[in-house]
Structure 1
Amino acid sequence: MNREAVIAEALGLLDEVGLDGVSTRRLAKRLNVEQPSLYWYFRTKKDLLAAMAEAAMEPHATAPLPTPGDDWYDWFADNTRSFRRTLLMRRDGARLHAGSTPTGDLERIRRKMDFLVAAGVLERDAQMAMLAAGRFTVGSVLEEQADTGPGDSADLPVDMPVIDHESAFEAGLALILNGLVHRTEM
């Protein structure tokens, strides 16, 4: 057993039982070890959850960084969609990610920010747009992962349109991007 194996098994447990069902007791049983042996790798459950969140974000964290010739609008949209797809890969992926600190991703975030600034976006606007898009995406995925199915819209007024999660996400993303375009044209 090693740290990576514990994280992989914890993510498997997450996918099976959801975030509320993840416990060190359950994880130890799944690994056929005594619960205290997990403390060799993670001092607290919070440490375990942080490692799980980092591992779950690996597909997005290894996505190609922007290059100088890229269109910033298209890159920003694709980057945000990649973040959404990655959160959706795991049961309760948004809940797991919410509140985590991107300690290993700071250099990548800096490079993304530098790309936006080099493309003509003011640094403060780039920061706020990245933050807004990230929080919007986590919130969107939280709603999507909490959706229990078609019965959810039964209580809505008949004249209120039902919008699927992907369409709602794309509409919100467009509003963020168009606001950023407007700011860069000022």
Structure 2
Amino acid sequence: MNREIVVSGALDLLDEVGLDTVSTRRLAKRLGVEQPSLYWYFRTKKDLLAAMAEAAMAPHAAAPLPTPGDDWRDWFLDNTRSFRRTLLMRRDGARLHAGSTPANDLDRIRRKMDFLVASGVPERDAQMAMLAAGRFTVGSVLEEQADAGPGDGSELPADMPVIDHESAFEAGLALILDGLVHRTATRADGPVQGP
């Protein structure tokens, strides 16, 4: 047994039982070991959850970084969509990720920010747009993963339009990008009042 096997087993357990039911006791039983042996790899459950969150983000972390010839607007959309797809790959993926710190991804984040700034996006706006898009994505996926779907006993008013999760996500993402494009163009033309 090694750290990777423990994390992989924990992610499989997450997909099977959900975040609220993941425990070191259940994980030890699943791996066929005594519970105290898990503490050799992870001192606390919080440490285990952090490692699980990092491993769950591997598909997004492996996505290609932007190159100087890329259109920053297209890249911004693709990057945010990749983040959403990755969160949706795991049961309770957004809850697992929420509040985690991307300690091993800081270099990639810096390179993404450098790309936006080199593309003409003011640095502070690039930072805030990446933060807003990330939080919007986590919130959207939280809602999607919590949605019980039809037959959950609740009825929407007849005059309320039903919007699927992907359409709602795309509409919100477009609003974030449109705001960033506007601010970038306005700042290129002269100073902007406000934050």
TM-score by length of 2: 0.94
Structure that is richer in helix per residue: 1
8 Å Cα contact 1:153/1:162 also seen in 2: no
How far apart are the structure 1 equivalents of 2:130 and 2:152? 31
How far apart are the structure 2 equivalents of 1:137 and 1:58? 17
How far apart are the structure 1 equivalents of 2:150 and 2:67? 42
Structure 1 stretches (4+) deviating beyond 4 angstroms? Answer: none
SS in 2 for 1:150: coil
Give per-residue Cα distances to partners, 1:50-88, cap 9 Å, x unaligned. Answer: 000000000000100000000000000000000000000
8 Å Cα contact 1:24/1:35 also seen in 2: yes
Q: How does 1:45-124 map to 2 (within 5 A)?
A: 45-124=45-124
User: Unpaired segments of 5 or more residues in structure 1?
Assistant: none
How far apart are the structure 1 equivalents of 2:152 and 2:104? 38
Please tell me the root mean square deviation across aligned C-alpha atoms, in Å: 0.9
8 Å Cα contact 1:50/1:100 also seen in 2: yes
Q: CA deviation at 1:155?
A: 2.4
Relative distance call for 1:105 and 1:160 in structure 2 (3 A) is: same
Give per-residue Cα distances to partners, 1:6-30, cap 9 Å, x unaligned. Answer: 0000000000000001000000000
Identical amino acids, percent of aligned pairs: 87
Q: CA deviation at 1:151?
A: 3.2
1:160 and 2:160 matched: yes
Q: CA deviation at 1:149?
A: 1.1
2:32 counterpart letter in structure 1: N
2:36 counterpart residue number: 36
Q: CA deviation at 1:132?
A: 0.2
How far apart are the structure 2 equivalents of 1:51 and 1:149? 30
How far apart are the structure 2 equivalents of 1:177 and 1:119? 14
Q: CA deviation at 1:100?
A: 0.2
User: Unpaired segments of 5 or more residues in structure 2?
Assistant: 187-195
